[in-house]
Structures are given as C-alpha cells and as structure tokens.
Chain A
Amino acid sequence: EAGVTQFPSHSVIEKGQTVTLRCDPISGHDNLYWYRRVMGKEIKFLLHFVKESKQDESGMPNNRFLAERTGGTYSTLKVQPAELEDSGVYFCASSQAAGAWEQYFGPGTRLTVT
C-alpha cells in the first residue's frame, strides 16, 4: 500500500510568487493534516480536513495560505503571495480515524522563498 505522497519534493520561488503544494493521502484515510516546520522551529500544525471539510484550520498563519481538498481525496496548499518567512518544510499526514495519535506523514515539501 502506498504511503502519503507529496509533490514537489522541493520548490524554490521568489518572494511574491505563488506556489501550490500537493498531498495524496493513504487511500481510504478521511483525515488529512498539514504541518510545517520553519527554520529552527518546531513542527507546527496548520489544519485538518475530514474528507473535503476543514475540521480545524487554527494553525494557518494568515490568509496568504489556502488549503483545499476537493472531492475528499488529495489536498493542495497554496501560498500566494509567498514571503521569505514561508520557507520551511511542509508535511502532510493522514489517518483513518479522527483524533488518532498515529498519523502517517509524507516526506514533506521543502519550500525556499528567495
């Protein structure tokens, strides 16, 4: 069974540009989460989808970030316009049950904003 996949693995963009990150969760996992780690900081929760609905988006830093999960399958996280402080690694995770301690993480997308 395939794990959580993320695309791209790396992205380098200039300040002010737009970037879209994609996450494909494990098949059958209704719960999808986004996290990120910016340089020197801890991994922080961004938001949680249950199927196509946002269950909790309390960790989204500002309105430059837009997450979608149309159809309840894959999810995208768009940053527009990107700022220097958005650089970091963005992780996606999925789980079968909501509130699960065991979440399956993807390898992450390393975003560099120059």
Chain B
Amino acid sequence: LAKTTQPISMDSYEGQEVNITCSHNNIATNDYITWYQQFPSQGPRFIIQGYKTKVTNEVASLFIPADRKSSTLSLPRVSLSDTAVYYCLVGDGPGNTGKLIFGQGTTLQVKP
C-alpha cells in the first residue's frame, strides 16, 4: 500500500470550509483513495472514495489532481460536530483479507 502523509492536526471555526490534504507520492495505477472519519468514542466511518478528478457526496468532496500524488478532502461549512479524526487510506483494495491500514490521521478541531 502507498505510504500516506497528512497533517497531524488542524483547527477551524464553525462555518468555514476545511481542506485536508493527503500526500501519496508512491500511489500505484490501481490504487484508490479512501477517507474515513472517526468521531470521539466511536469507530471509524467510511466517508468517501475516489480514483481521479472529483467525487462529491453528502458528507464531503474529494479532489484528486491528474498526477494523483495527493488528494484533498474538503468539508464545506464545518460545524462543531465535524470535530473528528480523518484518515486517508490508499491502496488497490484491502484484498481478501480486508485489512485496512490506518495512519495517524488528521485531528480536526472545530471551534465555535
């Protein structure tokens, strides 16, 4: 699996747009980019996945440039409830083992 690098922490204020960038310079052709969100005292939750360009759902948008060496998770108009740890995972799939590999993630703190 491609090694990922993301900021350890970020602060934001309610109503702002938050962009969390993940670097994955060694991404392979078959690799997908997946983001999980983990609220305090809960397990991680899948929020979005993409391969290239842009993906948007009700939770977030994922921007992937043409070279795919990085990706940006965008959270529009965050609220206090968006305070969580956000994990970027890159690979061609957990395979039959289903082994997800989590890094340290980015701890987002949203302030009032």
Contact = CB atoms under 8 A, between A and B. Distances in A.
A98 B46 contact: no
Interface stretch (B11-19, B65-73, B75-83, B98-106): B98-106
Interface residues of B, number: 23
B57 interface: no
Nearest to B99: A45
Given A42-B103, A99-B93, A33 B43 contact: no
Contacts, number: 70
B103 to A, nearest CB: 6
B98 to A, nearest CB: 5
Interface of B: 32, 34, 41-46, 49, 89, 93-105
Interface of A: 4, 31, 33, 35, 42-45, 48, 55-56, 58-59, 91-93, 95, 98-108
25 contacts: A4-B43, A31-B98, A33-B98, A42-B102, A42-B105, A48-B97, A55-B97, A56-B97, A56-B98, A56-B99, A91-B44, A92-B43, A93-B43, A95-B98, A98-B96, A99-B96, A101-B46, A101-B93, A102-B46, A102-B49, A103-B46, A103-B98, A103-B100, A104-B46, A106-B43
A108 B94 contact: no
A101 B45 CA distance: 11
B97 to A, nearest CB: 4
A17 B95 CA distance: 35
Contact of A55 (B34, B41, B98): B98
